[in-house]
Chains A and B, each alone.
Chain A
Amino acid sequence: MANSAVSQSTNLEPQFHEEAFPWKHIIGYVLSLVLTGAALWCALGYHLRGSALIVTILAMAVLQIVVQLFLFMHLTESDGTRAHVWTICLGFFFTFVVVAGTIWIMSFGSQVA
């Protein structure tokens, strides 16, 4: 009896400010398409070159992360939020250190050689 009472009371209801229409998801999808299209336009249309191209399309990739994390992955809601944010920020920081540090050290070595 107690079990059925629990399952009754936890029926899914839109109790967490869920929108009537999934605008957040649609906005996120459109943004991801626009960012991808813009990166392709810059690169394959030869509108930018060299380091300007690299910086621009990397910036668009970072914006795509923001779209996924905030519009799709619900990063900033409910209780564990601060722990979620710190966890994933630490992950991105380590990623940056590993990738940038590797490039720095390895290209430094090749210049010396």
Chain B
Amino acid sequence: MAVMEQTLKDLHGAGEHRKPLEYTHGGSVNILGFWLFLATDLMVFATLFATYLILKTHTDGGPTAAGIFDIPGYVAETFILLTSSFTCGLATYSMRKNAKAAALTWLAITMALGLAFVGLEASEFAKDVADGATMQRSAFLSAFYTLVGTHGAHVSLGILWMASLFFQIARRGFDAVRARKLFVVGLYWHFLDIVWVFIFTVVYTMGVR
């Protein structure tokens, strides 16, 4: 109930001087809604992880996890994504200090790192497919490409989302709505980092051992 009361207060713009801009003018409702979305998106990945863990030994005599996973490649992807999560956090931090140029710079760096991540992943997939490790080859490979590819699609969408926000903020600066949009895309990006940490651990690192 306290949450609802506070939400109503927010909608009427009360008490905003004590809160970050993104929580004001009803923004806290949007932010709560986005946490709900993240919880449901987590369910999507839960089912894909469960499927992968059951099917990872079903290689049908074809390529195995230890056979196709490229250690320097996935380690580089991991450090790139961890760094991008940090720079995305700095974009939110700069936004809260009303430092528009700094926020845009960190946002641009985050997008560049995201593109590097997606590029590395795409080249890894292309190389695997060229070596005969296609999605149709075995249940293991179907589950692998579905899980890791769904994460990669999320990251790609995040880059497009950040790009549109970059131009909005560059043209019009921060207000309650654009502050909330930047905060929410940040939540999305950190969430994808969490999912990747589990792909790194459960799929790749356990796969090569």
Contacts and interface: CB of A to CB of B under 8 A. Distances in A.
The judgment on whether A and B are partners is yes
Interface of A: 6-7, 9-16, 18, 22, 25, 28-29, 32-33, 36, 39-40, 43-44, 49, 53-54, 57-58, 60-61, 64-65, 68-69, 71-74, 77-80, 82-84, 87-88, 90-92, 94-95, 98-99, 101-103, 106
A28 B96 contact: no
A103 B197 contact: no
B118 interface: no
A61 B46 contact: no
B179 A12 contact: yes
Given A40-B205, A95-B43, A98-B50, A15 B19 contact: yes
Contact of A12 (B32, B43, B75, B97): B97
Interface stretch (B10-18, B59-67, B120-128, B134-142): B10-18
B200 to A, nearest CB: 7
B86 interface: yes
A15 B20 contact: yes
A55 B206 CA distance: 11
Given A12-B97, A103-B54, A95 B32 contact: no
Given A18-B97, A61-B201, A65-B197, A91 B40 contact: yes
A46 B176 CA distance: 51
A61 to B, nearest CB: 4
A1 B82 CA distance: 45
Contact of A61 (B25, B47, B198): B198
Contacts of A72: 85-86, 88-89, 186, 190
8 contacts: A9-B17, A12-B97, A15-B18, A15-B20, A39-B200, A44-B209, A60-B201, A71-B89
A81 B193 CA distance: 21
B98 A11 contact: yes
Contacts, number: 176
B42 interface: yes
B6 interface: yes
B96 A16 contact: yes
B86 A43 contact: no
B85 A32 contact: yes
A18 B121 CA distance: 36
Interface string B1-39: 011001100100100111111011100100110011011
A64 to B, nearest CB: 4
Nearest to B24: A10
B148 interface: no
B199 to A, nearest CB: 10
B187 interface: yes
B77 to A, nearest CB: 11
B82 A33 contact: yes
Nearest to B10: A79
B53 A103 contact: yes
